[in-house]
Amino acid sequence: MPTTLDIDTLRALLAIVALKSFSRAAEQLGRSQSAISLQIARLEAVVGHPLLERIRGRVLGPTAKGAELVTHAREMIALNDRTIAAMRWPPEERVRLGMPADFLERDFASAFDEVRSRFPKARLSVRTDVSARLAEDVSHGRLDLAFYKRAPTNEVRAAIAFEPMAWFGKTTASGRSVDAVPLVAFADGCAYRGEALRSLDLAGRAWGIACEARSLSGLVGAVKAGLGYAALPTRLGERKSLRRANDLAGLPQLNAVELALGIAEGCNLPFARAIGGIIAERCALA
């Protein structure tokens, strides 16, 4: 029985856990679903435990042992990517990094410290923007590496997680279903704003932008001041101590938003992937 864990198989496990789907993980990794299934079966044979909870072919999440292996797998993959990057990177590497503004208010400071510690000659040039422009810029080579949000798709390109969404804001006495919904949102091109408008339009609800915020702190302040409702990832809103909008507001259900990592064509892939992995673990998956 083999006793060595394969890095590509561990990547497959992480993709399945993040995307909760063998088929989507296969698309992301550029493999067939049968090949991914075989990898996981062999991995379960090596470790001696089932790793995924499944019902009628749907992936619910990792088992207890699977969650334990996921933790080790992230460390092993990160070490592998750092090692490859260290062997291949030039003496000094400039990385143009794009991310949504809310990343800066998650755990970016510790992620940046870790990047500088592990890659002391790396020079990060960071730009925040709405997701639509970040995705466009990384695809045209104006950024080397970019995190961005989008509506869930079947696109092969690097989806790394899903963020469940919720409405936050103070429900007013006049919050009737016939009233136009006052929205607090980032600028046009933000995936959170796009999902809010999609759900309201689908439900036939009128809406208006009560506040267009340029930063997460500004958006949070506007919501707490009662200017309107914001559609945000559930965990993010709760970390900012925002009040969930109750049923009296009559707001429609929101779909999850997909988080993607884009790496520009021709970029130093192992180096960019190593840095992307550090930031994803500290910020995107927090």
103-147 pLDDT tens trace: 877 777 888 888 887 777 778 888 999 899 999 999 999 999 898
Query: In terms of DSSP bridges, do strands 93-99 and 122-128 run parallel, antiparallel, or are they unpaired?
Result: parallel
Distance CA 159, CA 157 (A): 6
Residue 49 pLDDT > 60: yes
Please name the helix (run of DSSP H) or strand (run of DSSP E) that holds residue 261, with its range, or none.
strand 257-263
pLDDT in tens, 87-113: 765 556 778 999 888 887 777 788 888
pLDDT in tens, 187-197: 999 999 999 99
**20-29, 175-184, 209-218, 268-277, range with greatest mean pLDDT:** 209-218
Distance CA 261, CA 276 (A): 8
Instruction: For residue 28, name the pLDDT band (cuts at 50, 70, 90).
Output: confident
**49-58, 148-157, 267-276, range with greatest mean pLDDT:** 49-58
Domains and CATH numbers, the chain: 7-75 (1.10.10.10), 90-156+258-284 (3.40.190.10), 165-255 (3.40.190.10)
- Which tops the pLDDT comparison, 249 or 164? 164
Tokens of 21: 């789907």
Phi, psi angle pair for 134, to nearest 5°: -60, -45
- Which tops the pLDDT comparison, 104 or 238? 238
Residue in 282, 286, 284, 285 with CA at minimum distance from that of residue 111: 282
Residue 267 pLDDT > 80: no
- Residue 212: predicted pLDDT: 95
Instruction: For residue 262, name the pLDDT band (cuts at 50, 70, 90).
Output: confident
Q: CB neighbours (10 Å) of residue 176?
A: 10
Helix 269-279, helix 64-88: angle, nearest 10: 140
